[in-house]
Amino acid sequence: MKTTTYFKQVLLFVGIIGTLVTTSCSDDGESLSDLTGILSFGFTDEIAKDFIFEVDNSNFVIKNNDSLPYQFDVSQLTAQFTTIEGSTVTVNGIPQISGQTTNDFSSPVTYVVTAEDGKTTKTYTVDLAVAQLNPEGLKWNQASPNAFDASYDSQAYFTIANKHFMIVGKTKTSDVKLYSSTDGKTWTEETITGDFPAGTNHNIVVRDNVAYVVGFIEMSDPYGLGIPEYYQQDLSIDLYSTTDGLTWTKTEGALGSGEGWGKVFYGRVNTPSFNLDNTIYAVGGNTPVFQNFNGGKGEGGVFYPPANVKNNTLISTDGVTFTESEDYTAEMPRRTHAASFIKDGKMYIVGGLTRPGIPLSDVWSSTDGVTWTQVSDGAFPARFKASTIVYDDKIWMFGGILIDGTNPKDILVSSDNGVTWETAAEDQALPDNFKARCNAKVVVDNDGNLIIMGGESSVLGDEGLEYTTLTDIWIGKLNKLN
């Protein structure tokens, strides 16, 4: 009886222990969470760490809305992530440690996140967006094949009252036309009112929302015959201005004095003009000699340059009174047809044609139009009638006439205000159907578009340079500005 009772007690004890063990195991299983997921995701790498990656816990996708830089190497990136507590993460079965494990993200990467219970999983696809377009690339489009009258051979551009304007003129007559545009693409011929500067080679500068013509070539009748074939080219001594581009006012004699052979010319043509700190500067340029704007070739000269090249600057602080400065820095060669730009409170002139008829390859800067400092010399192939513009905080140079009379098609770019120049990248270059040119009007509009307007193509023949007027419009824009 004792044995039976003892055996029963042992069985009861074992049963109790079994129940306790079973209960304990059951309690452990219930405490293991089945919650899991990625809460945040990013990268430790120097560039990628600044980008935001969104974790979509509905579609289980992780991606960046702002594309990583063009050609950014994603083959070895280190992810940094947070998960629901107790979760483990693997990629292709390999455990992932936040901030330590490196993966190749050239193609989508699958992250498997497992809950604490070891059974529940969520699978995320990490798909990185990398820019496919070079942000520094520049796409060109022809906005118009023929925006102006091609029979006119002089073009002068200005912008005022939020509109673009172009004056076109004929060299051997006083015929002119005025065009306007609100976008630089579509141009309309305007009706001119008031006293308009009828002629060619208008030198225009805008100050305080007023456009001033500080020199242009007009036809005169020196013999009083009234016969056009005997007319001569003359430099106007009258100042012309407009506040809307359409209605013009003339101030007689503001740019010169005297009559006949004793006439003194203050106005300038074939020269850069600037508005710096609300002061007008017209640098160098030329005036006629005996009604002739072309001198003979000097020793070593290649081209027939304009005669009587000035060695000083025309200055006005009020748009009413214009005076000539003292002669500018003696070391700077006199020139016409120079390109120009303003940057960081300085005026710059680029290249041009010397009085002997030799193209230049130098850059000079000034803050007062009198004292000039050489920035560089020989940093680009010598040229004149080129066009320069400040765009994306760099200087861009287009076209011109080289020493052999040809027009370069490549674009030169300077990132150091004209000290050094490099050929623009292949994906910034002008398209094959763009005709190389000189004397183009190049501007940047408020939307960041580069606009190339008209110009001329040139050929050096036995009689000198022969020009063909171009009237097309081209527009380009850096990808990063779109």
Question: Pairing relation of β-strands 323-324 and 313-316?
Answer: antiparallel
Distance CA 401, CA 422 (A): 18
Mean pLDDT value of segment 21-49: 78
Are 88 and 35 contacting, i.e. CB atoms less than 8 angstroms apart?
no
Mean pLDDT value of segment 72-97: 97
Please tell me whether residue 261 adopts helix, strand or coil conformation: helix
How many of the other CB atoms lie within 10 Å of CB of 310?
A: 22
| The pLDDT of residue 11 is above 70 | no
345-398-236 Cα angle (round to 5): 70
Of residues 376 and 231, more confidently modeled: 376
Residues, the chain: 482
How many Å separate Cα 152 from the centre of its chain? 29
Q: Which DSSP string corresponds to 363-409?
A: EEEESSSSS-EEEEESSS--BBS-EEEEETTEEEEE--B-TTS----
Number of helices and strands (H, E) in the chain?
Answer: 1, 38
| The pLDDT of residue 13 is above 50 | no
| Domains parsed from the chain with CATH numbers | 38-126 (2.60.40.2340), 138-481 (2.120.10.80)
Q: How confident is the model at residue 25 (pLDDT cuts 50, 70, 90)?
A: very low
Distance CA 248, CA 212 (A): 10
For 289-341, write each residue's pLDDT tens digit. 554 565 555 556 667 666 688 899 999 999 999 999 999 877 899 999 999 99
Position 424, amino acid: A
Are 387 and 399 contacting, i.e. CB atoms less than 8 angstroms apart?
yes
Distance CA 32, CA 282 (A): 84
- How much is the pLDDT for 302? 66
Q: How confident is the model at residue 172 (pLDDT cuts 50, 70, 90)?
A: confident
10 Å CB burial of residue 158 (0-12, 13-18, 19+) is: buried
Mean pLDDT value of segment 121-145: 95
- How much is the pLDDT for 180? 97
